[in-house]
């Protein structure tokens, strides 16, 4: 017999796993993942930082609200971040400070002498910086496992190798077909399918919102000198690179953002080469080897804000997508808020300062 759930969540990356865990005390939940292993796509490929400004001022409330939860679980390790700039980019520095002035993010300006102490071998033209001292590394696998375990304890059924292939409306329910992984019925269908969010919406007859995957590349370098363990996350004010140390190696990204179809993303040699070239213009370190490289898809709605809430036209279809480059650092508050919106529960201490309307799909409804 086809089993019926209150909620079926499609996708068991960070988004789906965290939302399923938050829903579990209140509802019967199916968490369906197309891959054999949850976290195979964007979630397993992140650069693993929690950075207050990342994603822009309208994402800051989600990031800040997630911080205490992550710290309590011991999943954040202090690192600090520096947005570096050259003299000719002074206007960009000013614009950055103005943009985040009322956001709640903690930032301060730094001048060259302080920069030299934090980034040994920094080339002379990098004279300006904005520091974001609270930036931390996140234990991504630890957070994902935390939510999967919480979901399991809450009797969520995790079905892996269960790709949603077809959806039909049956009265008040959705009938969901997962090919050889069987069928299920659910009152609410949650789209937490990352790069495939629009595709899943299409299966359910909801209007796609234009959530577009973009490829982002990271490489792991062996460099001389060995990067100090306390090197901050170093980001370019103009978004051309970031790098940070990782167990004696360096993780480097050219901050590429190439539109892509939803797929198992792979790095392009050219993007790795571009990253190394940009890196060599920042510090005088020698790149000895590219040890590892990977790419993943960051998926953005047209306004680059996440989409949490019921579709305005398709009853019972709930969006939990468009987590862009901040889906790990915002996961705790996003999942709590998502569950509250889905179930009609009041906000709590974690979500009290977040305006759910900012992320509601209603902003895309035809006016
Ligand atoms: C290189 C890189 C660096 C990043 N760095 C950071 C960072 O430092 N900090 C940060 O906060 N964020 C970072 N991000 C962003 C973060 O990884 C994403 O925002 C987050 O992982 C999105 O989670 P998700 O669950 O929505 O997507 P995913 O992890 O991609 O999960 C979606 C899941 O849905 C499944 N699925 C799709 N279609 C179906 C279907 N039809 N049926 C069943 N299952 C389906 C997929 O198999 C997939 O597992 C980075 C991303 C990349 C690529």
Q: Which of 229, 250, 227 is nearest to 79 (CA)?
A: 229
pLDDT in tens, 15-28: 999 999 999 999 99
Q: Give the pair of three-digit tokens for residue 137.
A: 């590394």
Looking from the CA of residue 48, the nearest atom of ligand 1 is 8
pLDDT in tens, 221-273: 999 999 999 999 999 999 999 999 999 999 999 999 999 999 999 999 999 99
Enumerate the β-bridge partners of residue 82: 131, 234
Q: State how beta strands 173-177 and 166-170 pair.
A: antiparallel
CA of 114 to the centre of ligand 1 (A): 36
Determine whether the shortest distance from the Cβ of 327 to ligand 1 is under 6 A.
Answer: yes
3-state secondary structure of 2: coil
Contacts of 357 (CB under 8 A, 6+ apart): 363
What is the C-alpha separation between 146 and 301, in angstroms, rounded? Answer: 27
What is the C-alpha separation between 307 and 364, in angstroms, rounded? Answer: 10
Question: Is the pLDDT reported for residue 139 higher than 90?
Answer: yes
Residue 1: the pLDDT is 77
Residue 94: the pLDDT is 96
Residue 131: the pLDDT is 97
Residue 367: the pLDDT is 58
What is the C-alpha separation between 273 and 60, in angstroms, rounded? Answer: 32
3-state secondary structure of 148: helix
**What predicted TM-score, i.e. pTM, was given to this entire model?**
0.98
Please give the average per-residue pLDDT across 96-111, as a whole number.
96
Question: Is the pLDDT reported for residue 366 higher than 80?
Answer: no
Q: pLDDT band at 43, cuts 50/70/90?
A: very high
Please give the average per-residue pLDDT across 146-155, as a whole number.
98
Q: Are 300 and 322 contacting, i.e. CB atoms less than 8 angstroms apart?
A: yes
Distance in angstroms between the alpha carbons of the first and the last residue of the chain: 43
Determine whether the shortest distance from the Cβ of 275 to ligand 1 is under 6 A.
Answer: no
Residue of 12, 43, 306 to test ligand 1 pocket, by largest number of atoms within 8 Å of CB: 43
Q: Which of 277, 296, 280, 285 is nearest to 218 (CA)?
A: 296
Q: State how beta strands 81-86 and 233-236 pair.
A: parallel
Annotate 82-146 with DSSP letters as a single string.
EEEEEGGGHHHHHHHHHHHTTTS---EEEEHHHHHHHSTTB-TTEEEEEEETT-EEE-HHHHHHH
In the chain, % of residues over pLDDT 90: 99
Please give the average per-residue pLDDT across 120-147, as a whole number.
98
Strand order, beta sheet including 136-138: 49-50, 136-138, 76-78
Question: Is the pLDDT reported for residue 353 higher than 80?
Answer: yes
Q: Which of 75, 206, 56, 226 is nearest to 137 (CA)?
A: 75
Mean pLDDT of the chain: 97
Residue 24: the pLDDT is 98
Q: State how beta strands 108-111 and 126-132 pair.
A: antiparallel
CA of 349 to the centre of ligand 1 (A): 27
3-state secondary structure of 338: helix
140-153 helix and 14-23 helix, angle to the nearest 10 degrees: 30
Q: Give the pair of three-digit tokens for residue 362.
A: 């209603």
CA of 265 to the centre of ligand 1 (A): 11
């Amino acid at each position: 017999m086809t089993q019926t759930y209150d909620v079926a969540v499609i996708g068991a990356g960070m988004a789906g796993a965290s939302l399923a865990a938050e829903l579990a005390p209140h509802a019967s939940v199916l968490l369906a993942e197309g891959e054999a292993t949850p976290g195979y796509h964007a979630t397993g490929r992140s650069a693993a930082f929690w950075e207050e400004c990342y994603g822009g001022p309208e994402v800051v409330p989600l990031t800040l609200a997630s911080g205490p939860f992550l710290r309590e679980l011991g999943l954040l390790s202090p690192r600090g971040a520096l947005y570096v700039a050259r003299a000719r980019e002074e206007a960009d520095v000013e614009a950055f400070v103005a943009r985040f002035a009322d956001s709640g993010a903690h930032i301060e300006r730094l001048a060259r002498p302080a920069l030299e102490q934090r980034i040994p071998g920094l080339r002379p033209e990098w004279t300006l910086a904005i520091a974001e001292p609270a930036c931390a590394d996140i234990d991504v696998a630890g957070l994902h496992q935390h939510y999967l375990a919480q979901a399991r304890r809450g009797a969520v059924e995790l079905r892996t190798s269960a790709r949603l292939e077809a959806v039909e409306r049956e009265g008040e329910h959705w009938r969901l077909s997962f090919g050889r992984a069987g069928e299920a019925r659910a009152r609410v269908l949650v789209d937490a399918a990352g790069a495939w969010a629009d595709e899943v919406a299409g299966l359910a007859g909801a209007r796609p919102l234009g959530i577009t995957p973009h490829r982002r590349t990271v490489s792991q370098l062996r460099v001389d000198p060995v990067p100090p363990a306390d090197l901050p996350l170093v980001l370019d004010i103009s978004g051309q690179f970031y790098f940070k140390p990782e167990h004696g190696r360096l993780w480097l990204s050219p901050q590429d953002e190439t539109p892509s179809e939803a797929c198992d993303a792979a790095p392009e040699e050219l993007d790795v080469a571009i990253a190394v070239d940009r890196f060599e213009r920042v510090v005088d370190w020698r790149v000895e080897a590219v040890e590892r490289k990977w790419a993943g898809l960051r998926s953005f709605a047209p306004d680059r804000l996440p989409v949490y809430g019921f579709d305005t036209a398709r009853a019972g279809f709930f969006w939990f997508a468009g987590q862009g480059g901040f889906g790990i650092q915002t996961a705790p508050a996003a999942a709590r808020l998502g569950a509250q919106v889905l179930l009609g529960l009041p906000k709590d201490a974690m979500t009290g300062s977040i305006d759910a309307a900012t992320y509601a799909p209603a902003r895309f409804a035809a006016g």
